Amino acid sequence: MDVETAFQLWCAVAVLGLVYLGASVALMWERRDEFVDQMTAELARQTPPVEMPRESVESLLPLGFGITAVLGLAFTGLFLLVVFAMRRGRNWARMLLTMIGVFLTFTALPTVFGVGALGGGAGLVIGLVSILQGVCSVGAIVLMHRREPNLYFLRLPPS
């Protein structure tokens, strides 16, 4: 029962990750002028300086956003493969998910205290999703490491 609930929590983390991805791409699209300015400034600082018209940089942005979205979907797919392996009783998947969950929790802590808060609706969604991912991760980690799941993952004989 604990493993199944942990599985559901990890699936919630994956869905929240997709929401995070969508909000991040929306935030990047909202701030695309800043990205174009930064990219043209970086190109000008290269040795030798690279001349690229602003229009060319602007035409590359949708490609960059598309690549970001595709990579995010690919990582979500890989994450779900590990989640399903954990559900089947693979101890390596439980350990990997534990490390991912600890990482998600520690990256959510600054958001809890308002450090680095982003403005706008997309920034609010990103912060909320980050906190919810951390909470779901902690719950799943606790459930995966209780007594019955330990017997399930380690294949220990019942006492």
Domain boundaries, the chain: 2-30+65-154
The ranges of the chain with pLDDT < 70 are: 115-119, 156-159
64-98, pLDDT tens digit by residue?
889 999 999 999 999 999 999 999 999 999 999 99
Give me the pLDDT at residue 116, please: 61
- Rounded Cα–Cα distance for residues 159 and 149 (Å): 14
pLDDT at 27: 86
pLDDT at position 80 is 97
- Reported in sequence order, the residue ranges of 5-136 that DSSP labels E, i.e. its strands, are none
Q: Whole-angstrom Cα distance, residue 82 to residue 93?
A: 6
Q: Which residues have a Cβ under 8 Å from the Cβ of 91 and sit 6 or more positions away? A: 153, 154
Q: E strands of 75-123, at which residues?
A: none
